[in-house]
């Protein structure tokens, strides 16, 4: 199926009471793993690549175009109901490059920028992206970061409902990521989320809301968060960890007698990276079920066709 506009997917999820998952990929193996999961679960999905952990020098010298071409080529051969996101670029120019390269949604990682600077850049991005029929996600409020083992809250700030309403009205974004206690890169324990704040933002903002930090978002609070206004969850860290753990475990069976060409990059069952791919697929399938997205692809396809 052709790519579906992100606003169309978000509108269906919001209307029918489930959430979309954006499952961040970093190479062809992880990207195919997400596609496999979406097909197996008959679920609409947001696929794509994240720029946050990538070097600017690589992104700015053809990296964005390579990611776009890889994703589009793989998507064209699969039966998935999906939008294609370039997530959290470092700069406005990188997001604009994503528009030109063929992503159907883009986002700048502007959560630590001054609000005025972010508003100006995102307003410019929305004008250019919408002219190309590309959606824009933005973030207001800043998530704490658990990267160093503890939670760094020095730059964290919760999303204010009134500020969010003004920001969305000024920028015209299609989706707003919010800070309600969710935490980036949290791999141990779970975040203490404020569902009342999420509901207040939902009441003030007409735009669908996204929750970043899906790895550490408590499973037991997902249904309540969807009821309170969450329409999209981002998951990345858990996928990379599951991929790495599976690959490391697979290397323990290496005897040294196998051909290195079979073990690395062959896409055969013997490929070490295929073990990681399978682990990501199973993880994504569990999230799709958790978000209530399983079995929803056909209804989106029918709605788009009509």
Q: Distance (Å, rounded) from C-alpha 153 to C-alpha 244?
A: 27
The pTM for the full model equals 0.94
73: left (phi over 0), alpha (psi -120 to 50) or beta: alpha
* pLDDT value of residue 150: 45
Which CATH topology does 6-305 take? TIM Barrel (3.20.20)
Residue 160 tokens, joined: 């204010």
Residue indicated by tokens 């528009």: 99
Q: Distance (Å, rounded) from C-alpha 162 to C-alpha 165?
A: 5
* pLDDT value of residue 149: 47
Neighbours of 304 (CB within 10 A): 15
* pLDDT value of residue 63: 98
Report which of 238, 234, 172 is spatially closest to residue 205, judged by C-alpha positions.
172
What are the residue ranges spanned by the domains of the chain?
A: 6-305
Task: Give how far Cα 90 sits from Cα of 72, 103, 129, 190, 215, Å.
Answer: 22, 16, 17, 27, 22
pLDDT tens digits in sequence order for the chain, 306 residues long: 679 999 999 999 999 999 999 999 999 999 999 999 999 999 999 999 999 999 999 999 999 999 999 999 999 999 999 999 999 999 999 999 999 999 999 999 998 899 999 999 999 999 999 999 999 999 998 787 656 444 555 567 899 999 999 999 999 999 999 999 877 776 766 778 899 999 999 999 999 999 998 889 999 999 999 999 999 999 999 999 999 999 999 999 888 888 999 999 999 999 999 999 999 999 999 999 999 999 999 888 776 766
Q: Distance (Å, rounded) from C-alpha 38 to C-alpha 84?
A: 13
Phi, psi of 134, deg, nearest 5: -115, 135
DSSP 3: P
* pLDDT value of residue 301: 73
Q: Distance (Å, rounded) from C-alpha 88 to C-alpha 184?
A: 13
Cβ-contact 92, 51 below 8 angstroms: no
76, burial (CB in 10 Å: exposed 0-12, middle 13-18, buried 19+): exposed
User: Residue 24's beta-bridge partner residues?
Assistant: 48
* pLDDT value of residue 136: 98
* pLDDT value of residue 189: 62
Q: Which long-range contacts (CB under 8 A, 24 or more apart) does 151-158 make?
A: 151/183, 151/186, 155/112, 158/194, 158/197
- Coil, strand or helix at 45: strand
* pLDDT value of residue 153: 52
């Amino acid at each position: 199926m052709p790519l579906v506009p992100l606003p169309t997917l978000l509108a269906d999820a919001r209307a029918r009471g489930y959430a979309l998952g954006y499952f961040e990929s970093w190479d062809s193996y992880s990207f195919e793993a997400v596609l496999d999961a979406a097909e197996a679960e008959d679920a609409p999905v947001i696929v794509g690549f994240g720029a946050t952990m990538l070097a600017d020098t690589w992104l700015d010298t053809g990296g964005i175009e390579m990611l776009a071409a890889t994703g589009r080529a793989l998507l064209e051969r699969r039966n998935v109901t999906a939008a294609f996101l370039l997530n959290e670029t470092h700069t406005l120019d990188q997001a604009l490059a994503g528009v030109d390269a063929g992503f159907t949604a883009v986002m700048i990682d502007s959560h630590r920028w001054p609000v005025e600077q972010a508003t100006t850049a995102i307003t410019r991005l929305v004008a250019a992206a919408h002219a190309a029929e590309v959606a824009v996600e933005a973030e207001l409020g800043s998530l704490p970061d658990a990267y160093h083992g503890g939670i760094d809250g020095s730059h964290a700030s919760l999303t204010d409902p009134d500020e969010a309403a003004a920001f969305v009205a000024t920028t015209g974004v299609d989706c707003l990521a919010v800070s309600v206690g969710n935490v980036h890169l949290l791999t141990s324990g779970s975040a203490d989320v404020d569902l009342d704040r999420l509901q207040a933002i939902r009441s003030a903002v007409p735009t669908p809301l996204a929750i970043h930090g899906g790895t550490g978002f408590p499973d037991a609070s997902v249904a309540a968060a969807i009821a309170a206004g969450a329409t999209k969850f981002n998951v990345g860290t858990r996928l990379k960890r599951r991929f790495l753990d599976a690959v490391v475990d697979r290397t323990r069976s290496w005897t040294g007698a196998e051909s290195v060409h079979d073990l690395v990059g062959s896409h055969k069952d013997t490929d070490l990276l295929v073990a990681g791919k399978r682990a990501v697929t199973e993880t994504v399938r569990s999230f799709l079920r958790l978000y209530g997205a399983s079995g929803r692809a056909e209804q989106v396809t029918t709605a788009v066709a009509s």
